[in-house]
Structure 1
Amino acid sequence: MDVNAAVAALAAIAGVCTGVIAMLAFRWSERDQAKPTRTSLHTDAVLPPGVDTVLSVLRSSAVVLDESDSVVKASSAAYALGLVRGGKLAVEPMLNMARDTRRDGEIRQVELDLPRRGTGRVEALAVSARVAPLGSRLVLLLVEDLTEARRIEAVRRDFVANVSHELKTPTGALSLLSEAVMDASDDPEAVTRFAGRMQIEATRLTNLVQELIDLSRVQNDDPLEDSEPVRVDELVAEAIDRSRHTASTKQITMAAGGAADLYVWGSRGQLAAALGNLVENAVNYSPARTRVGIAARRVAAPGGDLIEIAVTDQGIGISEKDRERVFERFYRVDPARSRATGGTGLGLAIVKHVAASHGGEVTVWSTEGQGSTFTLRLPEAGAARGRRAADTGYASGDYAGDDFDDDTFTDGADGGFDDADRPENRPENRSEDRRGDRDGGHPDDDHRADDHSRGDAAGGRGRVGGGRSAAAPAPATSAPTSELMTEPLIAPEVLP
């Protein structure tokens, strides 16, 4: 065979190979185009006219099966729920329903709990599945996620049960006490004693109803109607005044300090109630002859400066398991102590919702037997930043009963509340990874409660929207206000 013939033969073979490769590539391309996508509902020629349009507007997850149980059409939500894998319906009960419906044409519905795939979470996914025939050959499966609806229903049931229990206790006590008063009508001392108990139970009932109203008010999503720049030092003074009598009775020293001339934007009544609840809880849960500190500071944040108001006590502390639930409605760390102090179990729930409605948050640091620090973090009202500290009309000082002594506060050595007194700053509670004043460090996340925790450690009382306005004490004469506030009580280890 000559060279030309060999070249011609090789060219012919190459041409045949090229044609075969091109044909295979075309077939592969057609097959890839026929595959369903997860990003949207994909069309298919076997669907009856108009079905694709209807399914595309449904909020439910949609899956269409053919007579061989293969997925003809599936929505992105169906893939996200894990209903479809490998072109097949992955949930056996739903697949059995589809086969039964294909056989007899009956519409079927069932509620199922599906495991969450790949999340490591224990709770199941609650869904409602409905199967209906679609033409003569196809079956339509619609799946609705009921997880959130069930959670809300469980919260509602728990709330109703808790409210019923909380209302039953004082009303039952009032009924028994009224009978005791009638039976002791000839004993003036007994009548007086029972009447005093009736007054206590009536007050507890009034507080509970009022806090239910307050909680309902702050839980709505309506914008704050009475928003205004609110001076933080006035809120602190009002909170201290509200708990002054209880603190004096227990010989608890209340120290206020931090940065001056801080303003937040919001409802004065709601903010006063929230801070008042925190201070009241700190006093109620502190042993006699201890200290409660309230301090504020400004911190930089990407979305704008924040104001942090910390309330620190040297009380019984909160265990780790209780910190996860401390902001729940009606949750009490110590039910017996809460009842003794008149707590309703709603105080911290109100604080949480007030903070959220003002675009902020509340967090907690605590160690059992050492004390707790609750931090209210709110956006700053920037329009008020340029005022002089001396014009605030409020100096940081030491509140013990009716005494006010700024000299005591300045160094913390004579009864004031300084950083060394804070439970988280004691040597036995410091951890090596805290960063200190240099960079505004803060404790690791395991030193604070989860941001989604809810409840009430002490159930402080307060009227949202109707806080009592206290006259701010006059500035101290021993030192300018600005000098007194140069050493914040808030430790960087606690407030990131």
Structure 2
Amino acid sequence: MDPATAATLGGVAGLALGGCALLAVRWSERAQRAMPAQPEPTLPRGVADVLAVLRESAVVVAGDDSVVKASPAAYAYGIVSGKDLTHPELRHLVRQVRRDGVIRESELELARGPLGPARLTVRARVAPLSAGHLLLLVEDRTQAHRVEEVRRDFVANVSHELKTPIGGLSLLAEAVQDASDDPAAVQRFAARMQVEASRLSHLVQEIVDLSRLQVADTLHPPRLVVVDEVIAEAVDRCRLVASAKDVELAVSGEPQARVFGDRDLLMTALRNLVDNAIAYSGAGTRVSVAVTMHHGLVEVKVTDQGVGISEEEQARIFERFYRVDPARSRSTGGTGLGLAIVKHVSANHGGEVTVWSQPGEGSTFTVRLPAAPGDLVPAIDQPAVGVVASDDVLDPAHQSNAQEARG
């Protein structure tokens, strides 16, 4: 076959193949138009409206695991991305319910995002909603889980702290029994028992005080409190210990400072600060308590010339049972609760406590509280509303004032 004939036959074959392909496409389009349209699965009436107002993350999932509808919270918490459930744990739970139709509920830990180790603790519940649809409800339990962990840690710490003085008392009682024929030994052991009993009593009282502070409703009706009087009583209760250590106590500042609150709790907080300053001060040093007023705040500064606190430790010293130097704290009778109480008392009165310190240069603890209005100063016993719960914060005006005061 000559080249011209071969080229002609090739062109004819190409045209025939293209024509067949065009006919096949046209036939397919006609067939698709002839098929009845498959209706989209519809949600039960009102479901979309309910999802829009739920605080929980709510998701309606179709039979192929695609998301049909989701509440705003589901997107905010990263439960849904586009048309997909983000977490494989949730997809697995959905498939289990689809397989057997049994409602399931489970507590899960989910990644908070694609990066980092942060986790969400959630309670997920999956139930059949309609033909081909499942409803997934996800409740964020992260905060409740964290509170429960704190409660367990607190109970464990209390148990541990109570064991030390109780164990010491038990051993000392045995020693007294064994030394019954040695009056000098009995007196020595009895004196030590008194120390341990006093330490145990102090620890139990601080646990009770701190527990009471966790519930804002237990505060007495707030009254006008003269800060000078509270400081005078707190310092007076510490004079004996200060004298025994040869530590000078000095009080200065403005005499007209007044706040709204609970006088007994404020006295306890300031006494704890002064006690703490004395405990960590050396002989021949000075602990000063100064009161100032500015920007609508009353500031009480307790300054010592003690060992100081490193910057790394300062972030943790207000935690319950935390001690910078456990060995030194035990020798001074510290419980690790004093500064936690100061923190909660300050917060319950709408204020705060901060610390400045340098190792070897001493420390200054500052309690800032909202000052009572000047026109109410004469009515010392007048009840007033102004104490807030420990989880509340200062209003924006007070926050600005506090920042200026720190400035």
Deviation readout 1:309-334 (Å, 9 max, x if unpaired): 01111111112222111111111111
Instruction: Give the corresponding residue for 2:57.
Output: 61
CA contact (8 A) 1:181 1:195 kept: yes
Letter in 2 for 1:171: I
Instruction: Give the corresponding residue for 1:429.
Output: none
Matches within 5 A, 1:209-248: 209-222=204-217, 224-248=219-243
Letter in 2 for 1:185: S
How many residues get paired?
Answer: 346
1:92 aligns with one of 83, 88, 93: 88
TM-score scaled by structure 2? Answer: 0.79
Instruction: Give the corresponding residue for 2:17.
Output: none
CA 1:339–1:178: 2 relative to 1, 3 Å: same
CA 1:46–1:275: 2 relative to 1, 3 Å: same
Deviation readout 1:193-252 (Å, 9 max, x if unpaired): 000011111111111111111112222121732422111221222222111112122221
Instruction: Give the corresponding residue for 1:144.
Output: 139
Instruction: Give the corresponding residue for 2:165.
Output: 170
Letter in 1 for 2:71: S
265-274 or 248-257: bigger deviation:
248-257
Deviation readout 1:31-62 (Å, 9 max, x if unpaired): xxxxxxxxxxxxx9811235445545654210
Deviation readout 1:85-121 (Å, 9 max, x if unpaired): 1222222221233234323323334433223338x76
More contact order relative to length (CA 8 Å, sep ≥ 6): 1
Instruction: Give the corresponding residue for 1:484.
Output: none
CA contact (8 A) 1:261 1:385 kept: no
Instruction: Give the corresponding residue for 1:401.
Output: none
Letter in 2 for 1:117: G
CA distance in 2, matches of 1:328, 1:307: 24
- SS of the residue corresponding to residue 131 of structure 1 reads strand
Q: Tell me whether 1:48 sits opposite 2:44 in the alignment.
A: yes
Instruction: Give the corresponding residue for 2:311.
Output: 320
CA distance in 2, matches of 1:493, 1:317: 25
Matches within 5 A, 1:82-481: 82-117=78-113, 122-222=117-217, 224-300=219-295, 305-383=296-374
% of aligned pairs identical?
59
1:77 aligns with one of 69, 73, 78: 73
Shift of 1:261: 1.2
Which stretches in structure 2 are left out of the alignment for 5+ residues?
1-39, 379-389, 392-402
Letter in 2 for 1:140: L
Letter in 1 for 2:362: G
- SS of the residue corresponding to residue 210 of structure 2 reads helix
CA distance in 2, matches of 1:146, 1:385: 44
CA contact (8 A) 2:60 2:68 kept: yes
Letter in 2 for 1:202: A
CA contact (8 A) 1:83 1:90 kept: yes
Shift of 1:190: 0.3
- SS of the residue corresponding to residue 114 of structure 1 reads strand
CA distance in 2, matches of 1:296, 1:123: 43
- SS of the residue corresponding to residue 257 of structure 1 reads strand
CA 1:493–1:173: 2 relative to 1, 3 Å: farther
CA distance in 2, matches of 1:93, 1:222: 41
CA contact (8 A) 1:262 1:385 kept: no
Which stretches in structure 1 are left out of the alignment for 5+ residues?
1-43, 388-450, 453-491
CA 1:182–1:223: 2 relative to 1, 3 Å: closer
CA distance in 2, matches of 1:86, 1:121: 22
Shift of 1:269: 0.7
Deviation readout 1:284-320 (Å, 9 max, x if unpaired): 11111111111111121xxxx1101011111111122
CA distance in 2, matches of 1:265, 1:228: 5
CA 1:167–1:384: 2 relative to 1, 3 Å: farther
Shift of 1:75: 0.8
CA distance in 2, matches of 1:133, 1:342: 61
Instruction: Give the corresponding residue for 1:30.
Output: none
CA RMSD in angstroms, aligned pairs only: 2.5
Deviation readout 1:330-379 (Å, 9 max, x if unpaired): 11111111111111111111111111111111111111221111111111
CA 1:213–1:171: 2 relative to 1, 3 Å: same
363-372 or 109-118: bigger deviation:
109-118
- SS of the residue corresponding to residue 333 of structure 1 reads coil
CA 1:374–1:247: 2 relative to 1, 3 Å: same
CA distance in 2, matches of 1:132, 1:494: 56
- SS of the residue corresponding to residue 222 of structure 1 reads helix
CA contact (8 A) 2:56 2:137 kept: yes
TM-score scaled by structure 1? Answer: 0.65
CA contact (8 A) 1:365 1:494 kept: no
